[in-house]
Structure 1
Amino acid sequence: MSARDLIQEALHSLEANKGRSLLTILGIVIGIASVIAMTSLIGGIQNSLVNSLGLNAARMVQIYSSQELTESDIEKLQKLVPQIEQIGIVDSAYTEYKTGDKSYTVMAQGVDSDMLDAVGASKLVAGRTYSQAESQSGSRVALISRNGADQLYGNEQDALGKTIKVSNGEVQIVGVIDGGSDSMGSLTLYMP
């Protein structure tokens, strides 16, 4: 039997059993569509969870120390546990910021520029992130979350270049990020 004969026989069978053929085709189409829809739905939910919870946060281990850690401590940790992808120091402090009649609680996080992704502060909306050189020199620059920029200045672009007073002086806002754990009356800053 040739391929032409097979095709003709298949078409003849389809014509002879139109109802059964239609239902079979409909079943195949619905089956494939449902598999595609479920795969897309699961992928969307996974992306949503990864974005909201932070994939890096799921793989991140935080060690709190009562003593101040140094670069040599980090180097020792890297040698001791070579499987660790990235090690860095993150320091946090809370301060009060007043502007006009409003008062905000500011959580200032000291983060090296190469650790911004690990703490979920790498999705830039406006401006720029601070550089490794600024990070090492302890420059007085900061990244503010989008919600914080909106609360203080109305939008992201107006926040760029502004200064905000924290407990140990003023820092200039060089970038706005999409993220942070802000609520009304609280702001998050990321600084070198």
Structure 2
Amino acid sequence: MEFREAIKIALQSLWANKLRSVLTLLGVVIGVGSVIAVVTLVNGANVYVAEKIYRYGADVFTVSKQPRVISSYDEYRKFQKRKIIRLEDYQFVLEHCHRCQAVGALQSSTGKVVSGTHSTTDTDIRGWTASMPPMYNLNVILGRSFTPTEEEHNSHVAIIGTDIQDNVLGGNDPLGQEIRVDGVPYTVIGVGEKQGKSFGASQDNWVAVPITAYQRSYGTSKTITVYAKAGSTGEPLNAAVEEVRTLMRSERHNRPGEEDDFNLDTNDSFVGLWNQIAGGFEAVAVAIAGVSLVVGGIVIMNIMLVSVTERTREIGVRKALGAKRSDVMLQFLIESATLSLVGGVFGVIGGIGVAQGVTAALGFPSSLAVWSIFAGLFVATAVGLFFGVYPARKAAMLDPIVALRSEL
């Protein structure tokens, strides 16, 4: 009953002094809300990265001119001096890699797609080998994919994203229709599955053509990325990676002991690097939000000290009626924890709202982690308890006679 009464008194105090309550809990609300928002957004980004990377399969690795993530300008300059990876490198790996279940190649740029009076800009133009659509985990929902013969003969056929179908072809049946990609005509043979938006950008504004036709239009001076599928993770993946490394070094005439002039990346290595970056960002953001919680805790302690002063006579009456020091201390601890917990609840609601607002406005992915809600509420309650100890102890140590003499 005392526990319920203490919570009731705390809530009545909040309701009786609304403005003071808002100002008191503001620090806790901001702190908890910041943590929830950051964790939700970072968790959403983690899910997005994992889905996009592992869409190829955990047993897929890439060979590229430079790593996917470059941490310094010196590294950038170093990688720019490397020879580009050519289609001949891909063909050599394709012919000689015995541990690879599949090998593909990708080259891309941005361009303009036109059909009649309709057009789109900043379209992702992809040059693919015939093996890339299944390796890319692309579901062709209408029509078909490329064939090796079309790749071999530089055929002007294309697979398109749903944005091209809706915005350029007017939503009509696209199969057999002609589109112009940077002025070059292609016949549509397939439509990829809709992927939606991410980070505010559409994932469906793309056109894929055979890489041989792509290079005939855009030239061969830019590097390609080679994709290889090992079949399974673990030792088979490691063996395939080492075999491809050996083949690439042989094809590119790297001397023994000389550093690779190309980069091999597995999905695990990239996801691991991303998790380190995201974890560091999350840690910094949580630390900054922690400052708000400390400020909020100090404000709660200050208000509780004011409350002790305002209720000195009440404390004297309770002690005169037989309340122990522990009873008085427990009452004020429960009140401070309740105050902070209420702030935590509003902080959780606000944090989720901010994260959803960012997702709606910018397309940044968000994914609510249930553990973060409980963690936020626990931390808020802990802050209330920690900063409520001193006011509660001060109330418990009051002399009942002195307290009863206090003026109302």
Q: TM-score range by the shorter chain?
A: 0.5 to 0.7
SS in structure 2 at match of 1:120: coil
Higher relative contact order (CA 8 A, sep 6+): 2
Distance 2:134 2:151 in 1: 14
Q: What's the % identity of the aligned pairs?
A: 17
Deviation of 1:191 (Å):
0.8
1:110 is displaced (CA, Å) by 1.1
Who wins on radius of gyration, i.e. which is larger? 2
AA matched with 2:153: S
- Is residue 143 from structure 1 mapped to residue 178 from structure 2 by the alignment? no
Q: Which amino acid aligns with 1:189?
A: V
Partner letter of residue 91 of structure 1? Answer: Q
Task: Return the offset for 1:103.
Answer: 3.6
Equivalent residues of 1:91, 1:111 under 8 A apart = yes
Q: If each structure's helix is expressed as a fraction of its own residues, which one has the higher value?
A: 2
Residue 92 (1) aligns with residue 101 (2): no
Change (3 A) 1:55 1:145: same
Map of 2:64 onto structure 1: 64
Relative to structure 1, the CA distance from residue 120 to residue 154 in structure 2 (aligned partners, 3 Å threshold; closer, same or farther) is farther
Deviation at 1:82, TM superposition (A): 3.7
Q: Return the letter of the residue paired with 1:115.
A: M
**Residue 180 of structure 2: which of 165, 181, 189 is its match?**
165
Matching residue within 104, 107, 115 for 2:132: 115
Maintained 8 Å contact 1:69/1:89: no
The gaps in structure 2 that reach 5 residues or longer are 1-46, 66-82, 211-408
Distance 1:160 1:170 in 2: 14
What's the TM-score, normalizing by structure 1?
0.58
Q: Distance in 2 between matches of 1:118 and 1:185?
A: 17
Q: By percentage of residues, which structure has more strand?
A: 1
Secondary structure of residue in 1 paired with 2:121: strand
Any gaps of 5 or more consecutive residues in structure 1?
1-47
Shift of 1:180: 5.8
The answer to whether the Cα contact below 8 Å between 2:161 and 2:204 also exists between their aligned partners in 1 is no
Report the Cα offset of residue 139 of structure 1: 0.3
2:163 is paired with a residue whose SS is helix
Q: Deviations over 1:15-70 (max 9, x none)?
A: xxxxxxxxxxxxxxxxxxxxxxxxxxxxxxxxx98xx5353254332222352523
Q: CA RMSD in A?
A: 3.4
Structure-2 separation of matches of 1:171 and 1:131: 15
135-144 vs 180-189, greater mean Cα deviation: 180-189
